[in-house]
Structure 1
Amino acid sequence: MQDKKHGAAAKAYEQLGELYQKQYGYNKHTLDAYSSGLNYYHMLGDSLGYYNLHIIIGDYYSQDAFMQPYARQYLQRALQYFNRVNNMPKVLETRLGLANLEQRKEPVAHTLITQLREIERLSTQHTQPYFQAYAQNLLANTYNRNKQPDSARYFAQKSLVLSRQVNVSWLIALNYFYLGLVEQFKDRPTEAIRNYQQSYQLAKAEGNTGLLKELSRHTADSYSHMGDYKNAYAALLRTLDLTNELYSSEQTKSIRLQELDTQIKTLAVEKQLAEEQSRHQHVLNSMLVAGLVISILGVIALFFLRRQQKLIAHQQAVIAQQQIRELETKSLQAMIEGQESERSRIARDLHDGLGIQLSRIKLFVEAHQELLPRSVKDPLNQFLDEACKETRLISNDLRPYALSMFGLIPALEDLVQKLNLVNQTKLTLEHYGEVPALSDEASVMIYRVVQELLNNALKHAQAEAITVQIMTNEEAVLISVDDDGRGGDFDTLPSKGNGIANINSRIDYLGGHVEWHSEPGKGTSVMISIPMRKLILNPQPALV
């Protein structure tokens, strides 16, 4: 029941405002009625009626230059709402109201014509002839302001046809006014006055004080241009009266003061709401603080308990991790020592056992070679020589003689030289800096790593050249092995294959780091960094 009363009151005040506007034009009573309608629409919760009145008030304020900023606020709030609910006719009406404000500015925005043509297109698309006529009317005025009379006449005439079809008197009056401006610009004052007079009659019937003022001023200009100074003077006096009525009358002052008072009241209400909300928030905050203090005390107690548990668990985890690392280190050391010991044993067996037996057989054959036919003697000597050579190579590979006697760099030079003899790939060794006396364990491991890398490159890379570089300083030994072969994918490869796994495990054992870089077709580069303190401290007995 209450909603019906509010709805009826809102519509009644809106209609009363329209009656006042037709009767008195720009006046305080019209705004009083519209403001009351706005309040009732708000109480009713009728957003459509509420924001529709925003458009009406915004258009009404646009007549007064002082009130145009408030007009823009009303129209922008309405545009936000109608965009949100996708009410296209109201969107078009609001955009036209804002464009009307824009075309009053100096200078006219260069984008305004584009905006108005877009509104005209959308009005045609959504079958809104009234808005289409209004857009054409604003285009006519914009072209007049830009001193383009032919375009202004074209759109004013198009708008006039549509305005008559939809029977909108104020729009017909404006079109006659703009056609008069075109004639005045083209120096045809008689035709201009004829159009002004038609517009004046319609504007007077509408009570449009702003348009009457502009018509009187331009009529005076046209009469003056014709030399009819009597009528020009009369039109100027009428212009002054209308200007006073629009800008200096008590009605106009009341409208301006009313809007300012409304703004002040709105701010006061917002301030009161904010203060009340602040008081509620203060009470709520006090309750929250009390609860928070209690919670904090409980959390602190729980925190200390959990902290103690975490410290104990962390200590246990650290101890367990250390034990695991020690076991892993011992296991790795035992495995490496076992490998090297087994290599040494096999090398000795080959050299002292099989090697000696082959030598004895060769001597025996040489001592009794006259008993053997030449077809048997020569192949037999060749086979024995190859067997002895192969035995020496295997023995040396298992236990490098140069490493035991001369150290790491000579052993690597010997390795590179021997590999160059049996491979088409060119191997090069470069070393920079003086290599200190390394422990036997470290020398063997580095030798084995380089040996494994060279074997991998010769076997898989299909390279033309392989370069080994060893650089030393006081802090580290840096080793790089680079080839120009076919490359590969090392993102997953290091975790596969015994050779690469052995390389990683040996470098890890020495506390070093390995980086693998390779691209298909661009070769492979392996970079190794080993801290010097791991290589010269705590020397171990020789493993070879």
Structure 2
Amino acid sequence: MNWGKAVLFVLVVGFLGRSGYAQTDTSAIEREKAALDQLLSTEQYTQAARAYEKLADLYHQVYGYNKYTIDAYLNAISLYTRQGDSLGSYNVHMTVGNYYTQDYFMQSYAEDHLTKALVFFQRTNNRPKIIECRLGIANMVAKKEPTPVSLITELKAIEHMSEQYRQVYFQTYAQNLLADTYLRLKRPDSAYHYAGLSLVRAKAIKVNWLVALNYFYLGIVEQFRNQHRKAIDYYQKSYAIAEVEKNLTTLRQLSRHTAESYAYLNDYKNAYRFEQRALEFTNQFYYSEQTKSIRLQELNSQIKSLAVEKRLAEEQSQHQQMVNYTLIAALLVSILGVVALVFMRRQQKLIAHQQSVIAQQQIRQLELKSLRAMIEGQESERSRIARDLHDGLGIQLSRIKLFVEAHEEQLPHAIKEPLNQFLDEACTETRLISNDLRPYALSTFGLVPALEDLVQKLNLVEGPRLSLEHYGDLPPLGDEASVMIYRVIQELLNNALKHAQAEAITIQLMASDETLLISVDDDGRGGDFAETASRGNGIANIRSRIDYLGGQVMWQSEPQRGTSVMISLPMSRLSQLLTQEV
């Protein structure tokens, strides 16, 4: 087991300097919003900034990791900056940085916010805040591979500094990070020592999320020592607290490690149950609308900044036009002056138009970047889960099957055959899930062989007859384009198999120098596609992937006359993606 990757990364908003969260209801949010509106209407902006911070906390208590909390914090930064309150502004920068560290895809933004705050607090010699920022940055450094040994020295210095300035909370968290780092460096005895110290202090100051995290680290140590019963006891204690705190990241990792311990104890029923929980928590966290919205938050803020700059440029242009009109009225007697002023106006309009075009291009680039980040995140998580299933559960099941076959003479006949059948079914199901998440043929042989493999497997199941036809020489495609095209065709086949009630489904690929054409046709019942498309997440995923590839998609469907889907992809865009990968 790779213990450097197994250790959990867990933070809740404002993890530093706070004692944990209690549950609340939405009525508290509505009351705070009403009070905030009153403060804004009376231009009490400093009080409004504090109200936004409180509102952010309330949102997190109700929804967990969510975009509304981030919106509230960014509004607080804006108001503090407007009032010239640097301390308030950088305090919130630090909080946002710690909040973003929950999501792997937001690490760079988290580091930016924490670094800004650290520079300010070092300049103002605010020791407690310096400790807090250094802990946040150290927490991110601990997650990098390989974990630097120098991090131990940094964390011990922070622990000593926390003790010197009587910051019990930060000392407790520094000890927790030391336990984390020692686990990653495969030194379980030292990890056990610091997790125990941190647990005692966390209980004393009643910081629930730290209590849960220390129980989790103690469980990993016991799992490392092959004391799986003790490990499960610690995991269950941590699980109970994380469930109350609505911490999906903790719950996902706890479920995975609990499943591993049950597997070592040969309790495969519970191992499978907790592995399923881990998969559910993963999907709930990474593919939820809240999480996607947070990942796009920083990009959206950049888009908003560009929009503000564009509006200022337009206001400047309007003001300059007024000046020009005044000059024209005063210098009508001079033809040369009129010509000069007309030329100036044209130049200004041209500049304003160019700025507008540039801003629109930048907005489009940011939109494409955010879409690519979302799709890459989905494929990365699919690949990771597929590897975990194949290298973890799949290997364990294979070992069990070999063990049973080696000792089958010792087993009663009534037990031997059902046991072999159950193991075969479990192995098959594991391979099917792993292959569906990341097809082996796609990464090994390319798009067309992967589609042929997909069609062949689907034809083995009773249902419509599938056929694949391809014409022309398909040019080399990068991994990114191949995966997107494969996922689009897979989604279209799934829709046809589920809803079309067809007897035959045909996939065609036609390649030319300029265009790759893809069609998926069935002879099923057809229907009102516009109404169906407006409700389906699968259709939205198809459109987003085709948009990213620069293509177009068209559906044709009539009742009882089947459905035809036509996709056109420009070769120039596919070549561009291949060049970017190289």
Greater gyration radius: 1
> Please, what TM-score do these two structures have when normalized by structure 2?
0.46
